[in-house]
Structure 1
Amino acid sequence: MKQQQFVTEVLAAEKQLYGIARSMLKREVDCEDAIQNTLLRAYANLKTLRNDKFFRTWLTRILINECYRILKKERHLVPYEEAENKSTEWENEYSEVYEALMTLKEPYRLAFVLHYIEGYSVKETARILKISETNAKQRLLRARSQLKEILKGEMEGAKYLR
């Protein structure tokens, strides 16, 4: 596909692309970013398009993937003030658990926080920590086990205080 044909096809698909982006993303700026990134990726990967008659389908698939990428990124973004307040609330509400968590060795603590507090999947946690999924599962298992022992000891100690 030549450059001029690419431009012509993109202009013909413009409203369709916007409609799809708008149906998936809430913010106007995200729609614009998704479309812009889609067009950049499409142009850069134009050689991978096997048949020109499937250009619109191919372009739409790139857009959908780009929208999913933006949605996933948004899910993990929290404004600094909210994150700070969330962290403080969590620390206050669960101070015993927080203190126990802070006694864990860093590899176990990081895996636990990423998975159970931040909500990352095991696969995402493994990728972030640059370890295998099996290793991530093992760290989570050990973190839970150690926390259970620490908190169990604190609960038994609390019984004697009464």
Structure 2
Amino acid sequence: MTTTILLKKIKKRDMNALLDWFDVRQSKLYKIGWAYLKNHHDVEDIFHNTILKVHDNIGQLKEDNYFETWVTSIFINECRAVYRKKEQIAPERVESGPLDSQLELLNDLDRLEDIHKEVIILKYLQGYSQLEIADILNLPVGTVKSRLYRGLIVLRQLIEGGGNDEL
């Protein structure tokens, strides 16, 4: 089924069409959710909340071409809300030990400020363009470029500095 037909069904509040759309993009969205929350159950809850919000608010979509961007924005906002709530309840850092380089990179990425972390995740882990990221986060493209640049500089410093201040 083409995306256009699927979107028409979604706009008619066809829950099965919406679930089909999410099934195709589940892996991509899951990676974004995991980068924020690092908890499978929380990410699953975010999926459910996002599906319901998209279903209930599909009438607010102004441009069909931006459907995926709109959904991703809702998903990220849900992740941010859960992350903030968890930080208020029990702020804690993941203990690092002898990890492979990919996990160390993710730990270093997690140490970045949220504004830098989210643009790097969207650009390099999810493959969104700077323009798409600007749409998702509702920011000017120049701000996205600036955050990417600064975030990559800090990430490089963390990696070159060993990435672990605590032993």
- TM bin (shorter chain): 0.3 to 0.5
TM-score normalized with structure 1 length: 0.44
- Rg larger for: 1
TM-score normalized with structure 2 length: 0.43
Higher RCO by CA contacts (8 Å cutoff, separation 6 or greater): 2
